[in-house]
Structure 1
Amino acid sequence: MPLTRPEDIADLLQNSRTIAIVGASDNPSRPSFGVMKFLQDQGYRVIPVNPRITGEHVHGEYVWRDLSQIGEPIDIVDIFRKSEEAGDIVDQAIAVGAKAVWMQLGVMDEAAAKRAEDAGLKVVMDHCPKIEFARLGLRPVERPA
């Protein structure tokens, strides 16, 4: 079952440090642009992933083509893509050893969520970490070295 209890979502956010945003955008009008900046401001290392802008920089971070290129531990893979694309991203998250997948508002894939859970990942679906952070009254995390 995806995490729904506020205390479970808070625990995931407070015990994570590195978030990869798949579908990150360099366009300030896109929600992923603002969410990435918000998460950085809360102390997270946020790694943008988007094959259309690979090699560019968003909020000072290099944009990767896919999760397999990152080569460092990822706590949460935040999915800013359509629901029908979430399954492939979840499979990549499993393959790279991410600890959790987070499907943004409106992004839902029950089969992918089950695969992630079966592989030992925590799953949040149809939520936004920026909204949850504020709703739960969380404090900024200690930024990774």
Structure 2
Amino acid sequence: MDIREILTRFKNIAVVGVSDKPERPSYQVAKFLMEKGYRVFPVNPNLDSFLGQKAYRSLEEIPETVEIVDVFRKTEEVPAIAKSSVTIGAKVLWQQEGVNSPEAKEIAEAAGLIVIADRCIKKEYLKNFP
């Protein structure tokens, strides 16, 4: 499945490491995805809400189906996020620009998840849907 198909088929996206600071890439990407009609689940244990939506402390707390887990965390934190992604039944583990964990890739792919690494989901959307 290519990136265009992923972005067309899957609409529920957890953004792990989202910030409430407008200058941060995680804020800008999550806001962009919301504006494009995706259902965004903000994940940050330090936030109560993000742009009017409830924020979750972990992936496991999200009461709905998450299809894409978009990760804005340090590479060394991604294997644990990959394990959580498997636990919740996500379909795609998406590591943002600058994030590329081979260990997380191995964990996710072993469970059948599609893994994207070191790519910005917003930039990929703009490239595929100009």
TM-score by length of 1: 0.86
Aligned-pair CA distance for 1:85 = 0.5
Task: Name the % identity.
Answer: 44
Distance in 1 separating the partners of 2:51 and 2:8: 22
2:94 matches 1:106? no
Which runs of 5 or more residues in structure 1 are unaligned? 1-6, 139-145
May I ask how many residue pairs the two structures share in their alignment?
130
CA–CA distance in 2 between the matches of 1:60 and 1:18? 17
Partner of residue 30, structure 2: 36
Over aligned residue pairs, what C-alpha RMSD do you find? 1.1
- Residue segments in structure 2 that go unaligned for 5+ positions in a row: none
Residues of 2 paired with 1:71 and 1:95: CA distance?
A: 13
TM-score (norm. length: structure 2): 0.96
Q: 1:35, CA displacement in angstroms?
A: 0.3
**CA distance in structure 2 between the partners assigned to 1:18 and 1:137 by the alignment:** 18
Displacement of 1:137: 2.0
> Which runs of 4 or more aligned residues in structure 1 lie more than 6 Å from their structure 2 counterparts after TM superposition?
none
Q: Which residue matches 1:141?
A: none
Q: Report how far residue 114 of structure 1 moved.
A: 1.4
Higher RCO (CA-CA < 8 Å; seq separation 6+): 1
Residue in 2 that maps onto 1:9: 3
2:76 to 75, 84, 90: 84
